[in-house]
Structure 1
Amino acid sequence: MYGPGPTDPQLSAVASFLARPVSRRRFTGIAIGAAAAGATVSWAGPSSYARADGPNLLTNPSFDEVTGSTPTGWTVVSGAVSSVTDPVHTTGGRAVRLDDPDPEGGVLLRSAPAPVEAGLLYEASVWVLPVSGKADLYLEFWDAAGVRIAVQFTTSSGTSWQQLKQPGLSPEGAVTASVLCYQSVRNEGVAVFDDAALVESTGGEIETFPLLAPGHPRLYFTADEVPRLKARAADTSPLLSGGSGAELWAAIEQQATTHLTETSFTVGYVGGVSITYQLPPVMPEPHDPPPGYNGAYPYWTAMGSGIRSRLEAMSLAWVVTGDQRYAVRLKEYLLALAEWPTWSDPAFNRRAYLDTAHLVTGIAFAYDVVCDEFTAEERARVVAAIDANGMVECWSANLALPTCGGAGGDTPGWVKW
């Protein structure tokens, strides 16, 4: 039974045959897609977010202006909020204090909406002193109807003054953004906020890595290395990873041959849930979570892994054997997947997740080896899908990673076209 993060044994067979890792961090998924599609890959480290490239868009960002007992231009959504002169981050000014004595309630202070432009990168920041408990900074995006359409956040660590920073890409339809100072439900404590900001940002310094191999294939091997792969498929000498090239190839070819005629595959999940996915891939309908599971369940992770393993096995089979049936089947898969509006489960409410990584990696590998079999129009469709559903969404997800005290360990990265 698959849990949220499955591992397909066929993926390790492909990696062993290629004699290099196939599992990648999230940023490398972007790089794989970029290299397959012909983009240049760029990198932005966490220090880049220190660069604020535009004016502060917030009203009363220092909290120095007060109406009654609360900061002017800010809305107390819930809880106890008060203006204070001690402690403060900036000497001689004022700050705002959030008191949260109730583990069942939260304290929320929201800025006035600031105009933003969809598709641009923004960064929210605030200085916070978590006297006790935790403190959060939220960056929120809103559409013209006043509906919040995207939110990203980061959380404090420790009990000293610290600057929280949260970058975010303004999504399609966004017209305003706001900053939310927050002490969450299930949190008890006191936090003091000061010197908030919302700025447009370029994301910092960019280091570009141009393509080293201009033609295809080029992701895991080049055309010059194909004879080595064919020789390995017939080599019976033992490998350090176990077995021989011939044995690994026999297992991969057997799977690839099966995939030629498959019309579906079924995944068993926790709680006795079983879902059948159509082949060539059809975007599945939403499914209720397993019994006893609260919230959306990441069914697409196992589905994406299954699609990826089929793409990689058939891609290798095409390269090693030259059997046109594999190229035809790969084209069917890729053109079907190019029609999907997203490669991340909409029910899971993430722009990119593990499912996206599986799909981008498998699709990019397949496209890299079979791209010459497409017409110009078909090639453009697949490349556009890798760009929109893969690279842009993975880039956006990386920008949403917390940069101070939050969960997650990948370093934000991005792609420039």
Structure 2
Amino acid sequence: MHDIRLIRDHPEAFDAGLARRGLPAAAASILALDSARRAVATRMQEAQNRRNEASKAIGAAKAQKRDDDAAALMAEVADLKTALPALEQEDRELTARLHDALAGFPNLPAADVPDGSDESANREIARWGTPRAFSFTPREHADIGPALGLDFETGAAIAGARFTFVRGQMARLQRALGQFMLDLQTGTNGYVECSPPLLVRDEAMFGTGQLPKFAEDLFHTTDGRWLIPTAEVSLTNAVREQIVDAGTLPIRMTALTPCFRSEAGAAGKDTRGFIRQHQFEKVELVSIVRPEDAEAEHERMTHAAESVLQALELPYRKLLLCSGDMGPSAIKTYDLEVWLPGQDTYREISSCSNCGDFQARRMNTRFRPEGSKATEFVHTLNGSGLAVGRTLVAVLENYQREDGSVDVPAVLAPYMGGIMRLEPAA
């Protein structure tokens, strides 16, 4: 959500930001709508003031026996009472149109975000770890997973494509990964564990930017709720419509939840294997901070996500996304891509975004700085710490052995009940 005052003061900067997103200039049309709304609001206020003045003058005219004046004033008040509802309706309509227009544009990229239209313009920032040298040709997880408990066929038979039935030792490994991530984010990285709703209202999806643009990528229930595509929605909206106590900032929350995505915009992508599912688990990180702390918090959050990959000893690279590849709510995004030897490439496993005040404006979430009577919008950040299914894929491919077994990373030993190697079914 954008601040109309900033567009009034800096229309060229707004259009320049849209251009970096690959969008046409829009400041002029927005300001024309804003001008029309303000003109109607002025007319409405003037009519209300005149109605009040005339109503008071009626009594004075009657007291002075000026019956003609009183009658004229009464006629004027009657006309104003008739005209005001139409002005009020016009004001409501123009206000709604302006709100919808402002809500329809993505956030503007930060100054240090590289320009570009797609992922080819993303900038690699760093790499960590050295990919393992295999003495055999490593296989993809979709080839070694079924013998270990990734049952794609049963999942598809029960629910259709992009669902997997996870069994036995594989289910134990998936649970271990999620619990390990959650313990690391709470015990080491300072996030507060939460267990939020998985079903939310329209307002929550609008607040974090999923609605209205991405409705087709979401699952909608018959009673009008939405299944969350990420715990970002529930966690961030925990401060919706609030003036947050400044003393509580920063607020850092984490949750391990199922996530649900219809993947309507990803038809034909990653249809094989466990990479892109309609239902998956993810540990989400959300921070609510003061504006001046957002940039440092972004670095901190990204490091928290990196710490999981480092503990699991999974090689990865860190990318700064270009203006055309970021999500619409972000002003700046880092992606972490883990090395998958079976695919011989890096694949996204975490995305950490600084959203500025974009979501806070949509949620109307503010704080009052110490010593100030005025409030300011908070800044919000979110990231994956990590996507559990994709981490499972990375473990399978990076820790595989030639005989089809898979070693369990040492850091997961406390969670695996003595199982330190996944063995294929006979």
Q: TM-score range by the shorter chain?
A: under 0.3
Higher relative contact order (CA 8 A, sep 6+): 1
Which structure is higher in strand share? 1
Say which one has the larger Rg: 2
Which structure is higher in helix share? 2
What TM-score does the superposition give when structure 1 sets the normalisation length? 0.22
